[in-house]
Amino acid sequence: MDDRTFNFSHQEFYLIGFTDLQEYRRYLFIPFFVIFAFTLFANSVIMMVIVKESKLHAPMYILIGFTAALGFMQPIFLVPRMLISFLFGKNMIYKDECLIQMFCLHMAGCFQSTVLVGMALDRYFAICKPLYYHKYMEIPNFVKFVVVPVIRNVLLVVTTVSLAGKLSFCVTNIIDHCFCEHMVLVQLACGDITINNIVGLLTVFFIPTADFILINISYIVIFTSVFKSGKTNMKALNTCITHFIVMSVTLTFALIAFLSYRIRNNFSPSGRVFVSTMYLLFPSCFNPIIYGVRTKEIRQTFIKFIKNLKVLPL
């Protein structure tokens, strides 16, 4: 390719996800709007309950609060633009805006994974080392455990997005997706993207995959400890199983989405977009149900709050 080609790079892109659905595309507004509204409402309730109730200011509930905060923010970066595209057909996004969206989506997703590691750590000390729980789960000590994962997340995501931003896009500016995912944008580049592929795969391996492995190891230790002790701690086991299910489903969606851009497959464009959307929206939508409704203390506090509202004078 002529070097002069690289002097031009598109600064505007068009997100055209689900276009193969043609006339049915506008009806996608309804399910995604319902998911968006429910996600914002449910995560807001979880955050409000945890902030208002002082007895929920324990490490486990604070981590659930962080999960709710991330679940509240991530759809805001993703869904509104999708809804506008579905309803009004306005698909244009500037390159810088695209990179900012990519950064916010991947950063929020990475920290959701890391918060689950924190929850697994909390359960490990609560079940296997109860005498040391308060010592290690105090904020100053707990911060020591999360410093490395936080630095890891920031460095890898910033590197991934920065490398994508340096590419030239001189062939097409049509993105067959509903949002700016890393490989969706990188595949449009007209230069060598080998380093982008490598860094993207390293990010997937060192963040969600590594976190998933750490969570599995901690839960194996927890299950072994519970069974050896002969005690039935069903509440703790249910919590661990719930975390495992959420992480497994999310990681499965994420790996399918990432690998679908790197290996030959028969995925339809809409199928690929759907899987990518689910690995971002699934945790945000279902975490409030899993950690809110199924957590007795949060559920009881919310019910008490509703009852107090009913007795207030109008």
Record the tokens describing residue 113, joined without a space: 């994974």
Three-state DSSP at 148 gives: helix
Going from N- to C-terminal start, the domains of the chain cover 11-306
As a whole number, mean pLDDT of residues 41-67 equals 89
The secondary structure of 54-108 as a DSSP string is: GGG-SHHHHHHHHHHHHHHHHHHHHHHHHHHHHHH---EEEHHHHHHHHHHHHHH
Residue predicted with more confidence, 127 or 231:
127
Confidence of residue 60 (pLDDT cuts 50, 70, 90): confident
pLDDT at 261: 67
Structure tokens belonging to residue 279: 């690995």
Task: Please report, rounded to a whole number, the percentage of residues in the chain having pLDDT higher than 90.
Answer: 26
| Residue 271 confidence (pLDDT) above 60 | yes
Q: pTM of the entire structure?
A: 0.85
Mean pLDDT of 244-267: 72
pLDDT band at 230 (very low <50, low <70, confident <90, very high): low
Model pLDDT for residues 174-213, shown as the tens digit of each residue: 988 889 988 889 989 988 899 998 998 899 889 988 988 8
Is the pLDDT confidence value at 268 over 50? yes
**Is 11-306 assigned to CATH 1.20.1070.10?**
yes
Q: Which of 72, 273, 261 is nearest to 178 (CA)?
A: 273
Which H helix or E strand runs over 14?
strand 12-15
Output helix, strand, coil percentages for the chain, rounded to the nearest 5.
80, 5, 20
pLDDT at 25 (0 to 100): 83
Question: Are the beta carbons of 236 and 226 closer than 8 angstroms?
Answer: yes
pLDDT greater at residue 12 or residue 302: 12
Query: Which range has the worst mean pLDDT, 12-21, 246-255, 284-293?
Result: 246-255
Considering the chain, what percentage of its residues have pLDDT values greater than 70? 89
| 5 — pLDDT class (breaks 50, 70, 90) | very low
